[in-house]
Chain A
Amino acid sequence: MSDHGGGYRPHKPDVDRETIGAYRRTVGGLEPETEIDLGLGTSIAPAAEIGTAVGAAGMWNPDALLIEHRSLWGDIWRRFRRDRFAMIGVVIIIAIVLIAVLAPWIAPHDPTRQYSEGLTMEGMPVGSSSQFPLGTDTLGRDLLSRLMYGARVSLVVGVLANGFALVLGVVFGLTAGYFRGWVETLLMRMTDVMMAFPIILLAVALVSVLKPSIWILILVIGIVYWTPMTRVIHGEVLSIREKEFVDAARLTGCSSARILFRHILPHLVAVILVYTSLGLATTILFEATLSYIGLGVQPPTPSWGQMIAEGQSYYLSAPHLVIYPGLAIMITVLAFNLVGDGLRDAFDPKQRRR
């Protein structure tokens, strides 16, 4: 176990800013202050189970007293599964993924088709009916179908952008943390510069340079978002590289690459998993924000942020145009936040937050 068992840990300004990082500054997102610790790989059967070794008939049954040997991941999984909030998150995510994948089959209408019966005589969107379950948008398109297809954009952009940022973060963070010296200085100073940038403006500028499309969106969010990932990984590597097992590996003549990927990287799995989940929440929010500003996927492809922007001028008379896509974003982001929180608690039971 590491050193944060009981006593007070002074917050070093640098480390704190690293973790709090730009997560907050991108549109919302992660909680800082994550220190994940892999628990012991085994646990000893609790006293109650020893009691049962005596058995119902009072007969001594030595087999039942065997210390139950659990795997590390088994323990984590067990803790995660017991977390009701996290399970709700998992169920929501599965549902959203299914909706996104199956959209062409389960959506009641073509999301881009403009129905003449979808508008009133005055050209206003109609409310919910049997034909249009959630009503229509300002162009007479079915809102439910657009929401379902919108889930695709959010998930694809969220997953790929987050993955991109993660790869950059892991590579840069590992390199900086392990090799130290000028490489570290260079990389970490780069993150300083990135974090001073007004992030939304940087994204706006990048998108206008490269013309909006789904791939550009992924690239831009990834570029904006690699800094906090790098800083988190860097911080973790700094503490891991001082551990004895790294020295041992070095002494037995392992190459740097082997030490990095076989000895250090496995210890980062916890951090990476937690930050992937929380990072997805952030990137999805970010995508929604960029789409809302008009820099996301271009019409007629529906995305939630863009739907809100389109409904904005009507929303005092037809608030559902804004509320449904808004709820869709919120529920999706919430689900990833729940899972991320749950993972963190599962990896580090001592730091339970709920």
Chain B
Amino acid sequence: MSKYIVRRLLWMVVVLFFVSLITFLLFFAVPADPAKSIAGTHATPDVLARIRRELGLDLPIYRQYATYMWHLVQGDMGYSYETQLPVAKAILQRFPATVMVAFFGIFFELLIGIPIGMTSALRQYGIRDRLFTVLSLLFLSMPMFFLGMLLLYVFAFQWPIFPLGGYEGWAAPLYGILPGLALGLTGAAWYSRLLRSSMLDILNADYVKAARAKGLPERTVVWRHIMRNAWSPIVTLLGMDVGWFLGGVLVLEIVFGIPGIGGQAFMAIQSQDLPMIMGTVLFAALLVTVSNFVVDLAYTWLDPRVKYS
């Protein structure tokens, strides 16, 4: 087990290394000059040359990359070209808004998706199952930004219950509810479909029949016998969503005007802000790999039969 953990951790480092390498190369593939976007259009060649020298942009790419990685290993993510702020600080500044959206997103996904999935599986082909099947297909097919705008229109404009987008810190959680719902409703469709099919696989297993036959109450059969084995795919999905949401859901940040890290990375790409791009992409990739890792560990706890090799 500990051998497995060590290997997974090492592999995570390798993945992140490649992510950083690809991002770096991609950046230099852009036929644009970051020095120009810093100095403005009227900069003299002297000024441009000085900026390049200061930022190390005049060095060969591999030297630049080595320097960046050397600093990164020491915990220094560099300074944003655009704002001159330390990248780590800029990310952490914007992270709470992203966390709030992610939190509500996960909350609604589970709150809506799990009961619906369970009801659908336990009452297969019932009226509710059919209704939920149709609804989840609808939400599955809806672009998230479109759903976000509909929610804004109905619940912030027609009936002004929630604010029309924006973010006012964790003290004002109302700002997180509509973006959370936009994430949650599209996501819940996934959870309910997945849970339904994974429960249906198990529903007629011999050990479930045995549990019923020995007279266990339905509640025990469902929670102890069926759900125990139906959770795994849900947990996988959850792990991916946590990583993805915390990395910043760009479209939602645009629709709701949320100052999260997705939008920050987007702006950084457009303004050629290399340290910022590297920082955010690596941060997002780290979140994804860590949450996947946690999920894999969670399997042993959920299902002791799973063995790692």
Using CB atoms and an 8 Å cutoff, list the residues of chain A in contact with chain B: 6-13, 16-17, 20, 24-25, 27-29, 31-33, 189, 192-193, 195-198, 200-201, 204-206, 208-209, 281, 285, 288-289, 292-293, 305, 308, 312, 315-316, 319, 322-323, 326, 329-331, 333-334, 337-338, 341, 351, 353-354
Contact = CB atoms under 8 A, between A and B. Distances in A.
B267 to A, nearest CB: 10
What secondary structure prevails in chain A residues at the interface with B?
A: helix
Given A16-B232, A20-B240, A24-B240, A289 B145 contact: yes
Given A12-B306, A198-B262, A353-B133, 9 more contacts: A7-B205, A17-B240, A25-B244, A31-B193, A33-B198, A289-B145, A322-B146, A326-B142, A337-B140
B305 A7 contact: no
A316 B205 contact: no
Contact of B141 (A12, A281, A315, A354): A281
B76 interface: no
A312 B257 CA distance: 12
A33 B233 contact: yes
A14 to B, nearest CB: 9
Nearest to B142: A330
Interface stretch (B23-31, B38-46, B51-59, B64-72): B23-31
Interface of B: 11, 14-16, 18-19, 22-23, 26-27, 29-31, 130, 133, 137-138, 140-146, 149-150, 153, 157, 186, 190, 193-194, 196-198, 200-202, 204-207, 229, 232-233, 236-237, 240-241, 244, 247-248, 250-251, 254-255, 262, 265-266, 269-270, 277, 280-281, 284-285, 288-289, 292, 295-296, 299, 303, 305-306
B26 A28 contact: no
A333 B137 CA distance: 10
A286 to B, nearest CB: 9
B251 A209 contact: no
Given A8-B202, A334-B137, A16 B233 contact: yes
B19 A353 contact: no
Contacts of A293: 250-251, 254, 266
B79 to A, nearest CB: 20
B145 A308 contact: yes
Contacts of B133: 353-354
Nearest to A34: B197
A9 B201 contact: yes
What secondary structure prevails in chain B residues at the interface with A?
A: helix
A319 B269 contact: no
Contacts of A10: 303, 305-306
B149 A196 contact: no
Contact of A209 (B16, B26, B288): B26
A208 B269 contact: yes
A28 B250 contact: no
B23 to A, nearest CB: 7
Nearest to B29: A209
A192 B306 CA distance: 21
12 contacts: A28-B140, A31-B197, A192-B15, A196-B16, A198-B262, A198-B281, A204-B266, A205-B269, A308-B149, A326-B149, A334-B137, A353-B193
Q: Which of A31, A200, A319 has the most CB of B within 10 A?
A: A200
B26 A330 contact: no
B295 A13 contact: yes
Contacts of A12: 306
Given A198-B265, A205-B26, A7 B206 contact: yes
Given A11-B232, A209-B30, A319-B153, A193 B140 contact: no
B204 A6 contact: yes
A329 B288 contact: no
A13 B149 contact: no
A33 B197 contact: yes
Nearest to A308: B146
A13 to B, nearest CB: 5
Question: Can you list the 8 inter-chain pairs with the closest CB atoms, starting with the nearest?
Answer: A326-B146, A334-B141, A333-B141, A11-B232, A198-B284, A196-B285, A193-B18, A8-B205
